[in-house]
Amino acid sequence: MKNILVLYYSQSGQLLEIARSLTKPLAECPEIRFRLVEVEPVISYPFPWPFIRFFDVLPESVLMEAPAMKPLFLYENGPYDLILLCYTVWFLSPSLPITGFLKSPDARILKGVPVITVVNARDKWVTAQEQVKRWIDDHGGRLVGHIAVIPDMSALAGLVTTLRWLWAGKKKGFWKFPDAGVPKRQIDELERFGALIRDGLMDGRIAKGLPVLEGHEPAKMDPDLVRQERVGYRIFQFWARAIRSCGRQGDWKRIPIMALFVIVLGALIALSFPIGMALKFIVDPLRKSLRKNTT
């Protein structure tokens, strides 16, 4: 009997849907037992998220100041043959509850265990994954795979619909925008990765640290987005330190500089979309031409 632990934190419930779809082939296998556990902070984060409270988590998210977490008692059903760590991205960083778990004593459960990470993000997840990987390594875990679940929609549609969902709780599409979040079709398709994980678990490849997801595009990366993300992360680090210097989370003294950050961020976003589209229009044909010349 193989034993799997699935850890997640989800405000909207979407990451739980993702975890359940991914693990469906595992749940249907009589030779696999798995435990689904939500990591929980002592002070919960609301959904929908009030505007000020949303931006108030920026400093702690980016500076990775772990919140107090409820104990999980994970050793009760161990040891585990595989751990699936499912998380979302806040301000290009791991969500605070996942940071809290990975900096808590409970994270010792990762020691010596193969780990597959599953990230649900709008389009940028690389800096968050790099940090999660470092923590897994620090705890003695073995990262054997990664799956990135990104909504299949344009960057503009993703930004508008995600913020509307986060702040107003409205997921249904409007005007020409689609529904917010990952489409059900994409979530259902995650079962194919679950089948690969099941097979790799049963034939011993995961225990040996051999890849089971390679060649199936579990985490597509856009080099242009990665460059944008690294620039954005440095900007977030600057503002995170500035806001944090004004007080702790919930301190009214942070509000003026948070307001300034929101104005600057809005201006950067407004400029980045037309510039990005223009560059893409120019660069993509050049790349295609270079590929043809090198083949």
Angle between helix 191-202 and 14-22 (nearest 10): 50
pLDDT digits (tens, 9 = 90+) for 165-224: 999 999 998 888 889 899 999 999 999 999 999 999 999 999 988 888 887 777 777 788
What is the residue range of 275's domain? 224-294
Rounded Cα distance between 86 and 39, Å, is: 10
**Measured distance between the N- and C-terminal CA atoms of the chain, rounded to whole angstroms:** 49
Spans of the chain, pLDDT less than 50:
none
- pTM score above 0.85: yes
Six token digits for residue 199 = 């097979």
For residue 103, with 0-12 CB atoms within 10 Å meaning exposed, 13-18 middle and 19 or more buried, which class applies?
middle
Domain count of the fold of the chain: 2
- Domain boundary among the residues 173, 200, 221 is at 221
Mean pLDDT of the chain: 89
Last residue within a domain, chosen from 161, 187, 221: 221
Indicate if 41 and 129 belong to the same structural domain: yes
Tokens of 119: 């990230």
Domain final position from 195, 221, 247: 221
Do 241 and 175 share a structural domain?
A: no
CA distances from 89 to 99, 146, 243, 285 (A): 11, 14, 20, 32
pLDDT of residue 281: 58
CATH number at residue 162: 3.40.50.360
